[in-house]
Structure 1
Amino acid sequence: MVSSMNISPIKSGTLMPDFSQNSPLVRYALRGLERCWLPEHGCWSHIYHLDGRTSPNESLRRSDVFYTLNVLLGMSRIKEVPGSINLSEIFYRNAIQLTVLPVPKYALGMALWVSAELGFEVPEQVRREVKVLLSDQAGWKVLRAQDLGMLLTGVVAQARRGDKEWARFAAPLYRFLEEQFRTGSGLFFDVPSGLRRRFASFATQIYLSIACYHYGEFAGESSALAMADACVRKLIALQGPNGEWPWFFDAVGGRVLDFYEVYSVHQYGMAPALLEWAERYRVRGARNALIKGFNWVFGENQLRRSMLVPDLGLTIRSQVRKQELTTRVPRVLRSVRNAYVGRESGLIESAGVGLRLECRSYELGWILWSFGQRGDLLELTHNSAFGKFAVPA
């Protein structure tokens, strides 16, 4: 079991009472998080390597902290948190590190979001740093999509909870998003200006669309909901033949510049988080796209293999071009060329595709968030792949 200070292993195949209310999928992710726990730091790890090394957990402190907040976000939605996980202790221990470590701006937005979902107060030093950032609108020009998306989502979550001091930032952040990140293609830009602007990732689309749904629902802003819906429709249209969510886009042309890497977390976590909103707003095809994307993880993919590691409760991070396991340079050059000649990328021959043998704790956190409350997708949450995690009769 996981605790805030240490971890006691559970024998393979056994289940504790704490797990009894959660679906097999959620229990699978919780079991994997046990493997990723770093007792000496009181957080979940940056990487759990799946290549057989004797010490599989790798720590990178600024990443550990953000990933841990992402896991806590997921914990806020599951039906029963294992009793030995001290949510408040883990939250405060890691949140205060945000003002010490060189973390990206989006980590501050995640702290706001998590604290609102769990009902915890934002540490004062974090509160001060976020307010300085949000009060300097001239400085927003350096924000990337993930920064802006998480900050807006966090602000709205705090405002919805009743913290009025955050509500004043919501509308200006949304207007900045609308003016600087909106395109005519339905996709979002990655940055407010510059040559990098049109080269947008799948994560760009997820974080800004989720932020638009949050703000649109909170403020009754129909334009925000319309932008989110348009982005979802475009992503569904660009989804791969096996349910793959492409990684890199030309936001101007609304084209796929490169499918790879295809990340498991997009298939089972981040896309479902967005598509849950899209289902609520009756975007056509959202549910089918979610299911098709998740089935990619079960083996309906190019390599015809499951991306699960059942003995560990973990997942394989991605399918990647074999020659790009250690470098991104070819991908960058290929994407730039495709963008400026108007070419759309597709899948390559399977022989050229390999696996990135690692798992990151935040990926499991997205499973908890996206499926902790869902009881309507039993073909996914109670799939036979998670059979060993079923509640005993």
Structure 2
Amino acid sequence: MRFKSSSAFYQELHGFCIERLKESFNPDSQLFDLRLHNRHWGLVEGTENSSSTAMVLIALHRADIDVEGLFSLQIKSVLKALTDLHRFPVYHETLGLLIWANAIWDGSSLSDLLQELGLSLIKIPALTRNLKSAELAWLVSGFAHEYRRSGEQDVLETLKILLTQLQLRQHKTSHVFYHYAHNAPLRLCYRRHVTTFADQVYPVQALAFASILLKEPGYLQQVQPCVQQIVDLQGKLGQWWWHYDARNAQVLQAYPVYSVHQHAMAPMMLMALAAAGGKAHTAAMSLSHAWQDHNEINANMTDREVGTMWRDIEYDENKLASSFRKARSVMGQTRDRTSRLPKLKIRYDTWPYEWGWCLYAQAIATTAPPSQHLI
């Protein structure tokens, strides 16, 4: 198979991402909260209005997009709408993304932002007990970029506490990050070993940021074995599997295989590692990109007619079978990916952050970071 260069791969997707993001911006809410669902536009669900909006803001800034000109929006209005969401505790899970976006767009001071939400720096570490590892990593990344902006000592002290908490989430021998902390509430802790691909991507990225920002090679050294483990498990067609057992790094649930993991999140992780001085997994990244059009069901996940990248390839099964499969994962029963291929289907959705992270990955692959960004 002949691989496209990263620049050629992303150049084809760039226009799709810009046009769909224009459509995903909701002038009524001032958020990027509209998605494609079964090929039709509708509102996102849950806290996705917050996470997608913050990720898109981060991406548009890194890609140096003329946001106010192309999107007919005011960044201050979007940041205010995003901040207003975080007045509700359910949105604590995306607080790190808000802090990250606020820092790079030079919004409110962190102390003013937290005060507006009824929070303070001293309260932040206690919030992490209920957070997934990906969400804790967003906090680390947010504080890293805030410290780059402000240089304030109390921000650095909180960042170091969060870094220690994140480091403790990594299994000592498998090198994979758990889904939750060891002291998470029982309702969450029972499945802490069932970790996700996102629980690897964002911690690696966050610790790479910290290694660059603080000039501490120990953070890089900690995540290199994690990345190598995940790369070793990459599918023959470039697939990044979804669920792993953090205790032994076995794949628990192969599917869904998400397009955003292939075109954006895995490349983000690999490029962050390389930027911090780690190994450049160029072959794994090329294979990851190639999956978009050369995959297990011979489908083009990049729909050039619609102008999007469809969400995933997933199991085609009923709710009972899905529940049984997930229960097996919690019990640590792996699914053999080399046996007869299960029945699969495409999910015809795309969420705003998928277009955003694609632009972010493209920017990292093709341009030097502006001063507000670490990578």
TM above 0.5: yes
Matched, 1:89 2:84: no
**What are the superposed Cα offsets for residues 252-283 of structure 1, whole Å, 9 maximum, x if unpaired?**
10111111110111111111111111223454
Cα deviations across residues 108-149 of structure 1 (Å, max 9, x unaligned)?
100111122222225766422485375364553323212210
1:189 aligns with 2:183: no
Partner SS for 1:233: helix
Q: 1:225: Cα distance to partner? A: 0.9
Shift of 1:284: 4.2
Q: Are 1:36 and 2:24 matched, yes or no?
A: yes
- Counterpart of 1:178 (choices 167, 171, 174) is 167
Q: Secondary structure at the match of 1:200?
A: strand
1:215–1:134 Cα change, 3 Å: farther
In the other structure, the counterpart of 2:372 is none
Bigger shift: residues 190-199 or 243-252: 190-199
Note if contact 1:324-1:330 (Cα within 8 Å) is conserved in structure 2: no
2:63 equivalent among 78, 82, 87: 78
Q: Is 2:259–2:310's contact at 8 Å kept on the other side of the alignment?
A: yes
Q: Which residue number corresponds to residue 222 of structure 1?
A: 217
Shift of 1:333: 1.6
8 Å Cα contact 2:310-2:349 kept in structure 1: yes
Match of 1:240, as an amino acid?
A: G
RMSD: 2.6
* 1:1-393 mapped onto 2 (5 Å cutoff): 23-51=11-39, 53=40, 56-60=41-45, 62-82=47-67, 83-85=69-71, 86-101=73-88, 103-122=90-109, 126-128=113-115, 129=117, 131-132=119-120, 134-135=122-123, 137-164=125-152, 165-193=154-182, 194-281=189-276, 283-284=278-279, 286-297=281-292, 299-323=293-317, 328-337=322-331, 339=332, 343=334, 345-346=336-337, 349-350=340-341, 352-375=343-366
Name the SS of the counterpart of 1:76 in structure 2: helix
Paired residues of 1:46 and 1:58 also in contact (CA < 8 A):
yes
**Distance in 2 separating the partners of 1:46 and 1:331:** 31
Q: For the Cα contact (< 8 Å) 1:198–1:251, is it kept in 2? A: yes
Distance 1:315 1:308 in 2: 4
- Residues 332-370 of structure 1: CA deviation (Å, up to 9, x unaligned): 123134x2x5x4631664560001111100111101111
In 2, the alpha carbon distance for the partners of 1:79 and 1:326 equals 46
Which region of structure 1 is more displaced relative to structure 2, 234-243 or 323-332? 323-332
Distance 1:313 1:123, change over 3 A: farther
Q: CA deviation at 1:180?
A: 3.9
Gaps (5+ residues) in structure 2? 1-9, 183-188, 368-375
SS at match of 1:323: coil
Q: Which residue identity is paired with 2:360?
A: W
* Seq. identity, %: 22
With over 3 angstroms needed to count, the CA separation of the structure-2 counterparts of 1:189 and 1:178, relative to structure 1, is same
What's the TM-score, normalizing by structure 1? 0.80
Judging changes above 3 Å, is the alpha-carbon distance between structure 1 residues 98 and 77 closer, same or farther for their aligned structure 2 residues? Answer: same
Deviations 1:177-219 (A, max 9, x none): 2234443211111111233221100010011111111112222
In the alignment, the residues of structure 1 paired with residue 155 and residue 133 of structure 2 have an alpha-carbon distance, to the nearest angstrom, of: 20
CA contact (8 A) 1:259 1:346 kept: yes
Q: Mean Cα displacement is larger for which, 287-296 or 78-87? A: 78-87
Match of 2:7 in 1: none
Contact 1:66-1:107 at 8 Å conserved across structures: yes
Aligned counterparts of 1:331 and 1:32: Cα–Cα separation in 2: 34
TM-score (norm 2): 0.84
Q: Secondary structure at the match of 1:89?
A: helix
Which string of whole-angstrom CA distances, capped at 9 and with x for unpartnered residues, describes residues 91-115 of structure 1? Answer: 3232222333454423110011112
Are the structure 2 counterparts of residues 328 and 110 from structure 1 closer, same or farther at C-alpha, using a change threshold of 3 Å? farther
Single out whichever of 126-135 and 195-204 deviates more from structure 2: 126-135
Q: 1:133 to 1:116 in 2, by over 3 A?
A: closer
Aligned residues: 348
User: Unpaired segments of 5 or more residues in structure 1?
Assistant: 1-21, 377-393
Checking the alignment, whether the CA contact within 8 Å between 1:62 and 1:102 is kept in structure 2 is: no
**Which deviates more, 158-167 or 178-187?**
178-187
AA partner of residue 120 (structure 1)? G
For residue 366 of structure 2, give the secondary structure of its aligned residue in structure 1. coil
